[in-house]
Every structure is written in structure tokens, then in C-alpha cells.
Amino acid sequence: MYVPDVVIRPRLEILAKAPVPTQTGLFDMIVFRYGEQAAESGLSPDHVALVMGDVRGRSSVLVRVHSECLTSEVFGSLKCDCRGQLEAAQAEIARRGQGVVLYLRQEGRGIGLSNKIRAYDLQSRGHDTVDANRLLGLPDDARDYAPAAAMLEHLGVASIQLMTNNPLKVQALRQFGTRVETREPSIVGTNPFSQGYLEAKRQRMGHALPALDAALHASAEGIDAE
Ligand SMILES: Nc1nc2c(ncn2[C@@H]2O[C@H](COP(=O)(O)OP(=O)(O)OP(=O)(O)O)[C@@H](O)[C@H]2O)c(=O)[nH]1
Ligand SMILES: [Zn+2]
């Protein structure tokens, strides 16, 4: 995860804004541009905020900082939990009537779509998500949370409850000046195709996820895992 020693913020531009009705309610959709992305990365510098309710000046605003995952969100891939997490975040924001989803165009933990699919190819040959990135000579996690912090600052959010299982995401946002009051777990169901990925995130990337053995045992016994 990229966190510079000195925080220099490129200009945040607001490109467009409109109300968008969704299956989980009416959100304001704001498109931001933050800095530039090298064309060869395949990543877009245009990030999205979905905002519900009045968040300006508010504390403890529920926020999901979500990274793009084309495979699950568009095509229904079962290899990860991203789509479920996004849907759960929108549903909880709608339930509370207030909150923000920041959708960052950092596909594949920031390595871009084609590299992610190369990593999937290696995973189909038995490597886990971390080793697949390393075999490609890429960092485990190449995301930058400066755009998210700048977007929250623009929205005037005073402090947030962050929906994530990733402690490094909390740390990175704090380093960019976001007041993260609490971490709210973002646990969604597993399936046989996502279990390996979730277990690698738990064991190798420090995510606060229930242990897979315990979850499987609990579900076999008909008990809720968490
Ligand atoms: N490089 C790579 N990226 C992946 C893989 N599976 C999913 N992703 C990407 O991972 C990103 C989501 O990161 P995760 O590590 O799953 O979760 P997180 O955002 O760190 O943590 P949460 O906030 O708890 O969701 C999205 O950009 C996905 O496209 C994979 O096997 N390899
Ligand atoms: Zn995903």
C-alpha cells in the first residue's frame, strides 16, 4: 500500500454530479478526478462517490471505501467477496438513511485488470492471491488511498465509521488525514470458489475475517460463524 512520507495532494476535480435511483435507494453520484494515471496502467483517475443523506459536517458517517472489481461486480465472478461487500454497504447505508460509498478505480488491488487476470491464471495453477502477484513481479497491494481521503474532505465529512476488514485501509486513510472513528466489519458469505481467497486475506494480509475452519465447522453444525 502506497503512503508517501510527505502528503502532497494533486488537485481534486469534480467532473459531474446527479441523483441516481438504485435498488437500494436514491444516491447522489459524484464523479471525481484525482491526479493522473499512466495510460499503460489501465486504471482510471475518475473515482465515484455515492452519497445518501446529509453528510456535510457530520461525525460517525458510515463509509465504504471500495476498490473496483469488474469480475465480480459486472460478471458475477464467485472468486471474491467484493460484490457482496458493495451490496451490503449500500443496503446498510440505505437502512441508516445516511452514508457514503467511495468507489475507487483501483482494479485488482491497484495492479489493473489485465494483471489481475494474469494473477487469476496463476491462481488456477495453485498459487494463492499473494504469491500470484509476486510471481508477476507486482506488489501485494498497490492501492493509493489519497483520492479517498481527498473526496471525504471535499464532502465535508467530519469523521467516519469505515466498513472494512482490512486494518491497513484504516491506517492508510488516517495517514492521509481522515478521522476514522471505528472499523465496522464487512463480512459476507463465502462459497467454494472464494474460500481460498478469503483465507489468504486472513492469513497473509491481516484481514479481520473469521477463520475458515471455524466458519465451515459452524455452518456444518448449523451455527452462525459470526
Ligand atoms: N491482484 C488481485 N486483486 C484481486 C484479487 N481478487 C480480488 N482482487 C481485487 O481486490 C480488491 C479488493 O481488495 P480486497 O483485498 O479483497 O479487500 P480490501 O478492499 O482490502 O478489504 P475490505 O475493505 O475488507 O473489502 C479489488 O480491487 C479486487 O479487484 C486477486 O486474486 N488478485
Ligand atoms: Zn473482487
Residues 150-163 have a mean pLDDT of 98
Which pLDDT tens digit goes with each residue over 122-135? 999 999 999 999 99
Structural domains in the chain plus CATH codes = 12-106+143-188 (3.40.50.10990), 192-226 (no CATH)
The mean predicted confidence, pLDDT, of the chain is: 91
Pocket test for ligand 1, best of 80, 160, 187 (most atoms within 8 A of CB): 80
Which pLDDT tens digit goes with each residue over 39-65? 777 899 999 999 999 999 999 999 999
Minimum-distance ligand 1 atom for the alpha carbon of 129: 31
Residues 16-23 have a mean pLDDT of 98
Residues 59-84 have a mean pLDDT of 98
Q: Which residue has the cell 494463492?
A: 128
Half-sphere exposure of 145 (CA within 13 A, CB side): 20
Question: 176 with 6: CB under 8 angstroms?
Answer: no
Pocket test for ligand 1, best of 1, 41, 44, 67 (most atoms within 8 A of CB): 67
Which pLDDT tens digit goes with each residue over 3-13? 555 555 678 99
Q: Is 42 a known ligand-binding residue?
A: no
Beta strands in the chain (DSSP E): 12-22, 25-34, 46-52, 61-67, 99-104, 160-163, 180-184
Determine the pLDDT at residue 2. Answer: 57
Determine the pLDDT at residue 37. Answer: 73
Residues that are catalytic: 141, 143
